[in-house]
Amino acid sequence: MIAIIKIMLSIKNMTNSPLTNLLLIAGTVFLAIAVIGQARLGFAEINPGFFGRLLALIIGLFSLTGAVVLVLFPVEIVDLIRNYLAQQIQQNLGLIIQV
């Protein structure tokens, strides 16, 4: 039951970020192109070929992975880690230069 609540909260958080939505939609579209391959949709024809399908698969997986990472690690946490690391590097710059 707790797992279902966590999943529902994650889905709710996904709708808060436009970048997450963009990555989610792009990943779904690219994976659809990779799976369907050759298709005709009215006047539009999708014919990516082997390498196009492979590239669509790779881009789709990276896009969906990026969306999941943005849900699990919000931008605020990433900024906090980045600021902490920058502060530590500035404080210990003398030690870093000696090495």
Using alpha carbons, select from 86, 78, 28 the residue that is nearest to residue 57: 28
* Mean pLDDT estimate for the chain: 80
Using alpha carbons, select from 54, 52, 59 the residue that is nearest to residue 30: 59
Mean pLDDT lowest among 31-35, 58-62, 93-97: 93-97
The more confidently predicted of residues 21 and 41 is 21
pTM of the model: 0.60
State yes or no: pLDDT of 71 exceeds 90: no
Phi-psi region of 40 (alpha: psi -120 to 50; beta: other; left: phi over 0): beta
Given this model, what pLDDT does residue 95 score?
A: 75
Given this model, what pLDDT does residue 58 score?
A: 94
When pLDDT is averaged across residues 74-89 and rounded to a whole number, the result is 83
Given this model, what pLDDT does residue 11 score?
A: 60
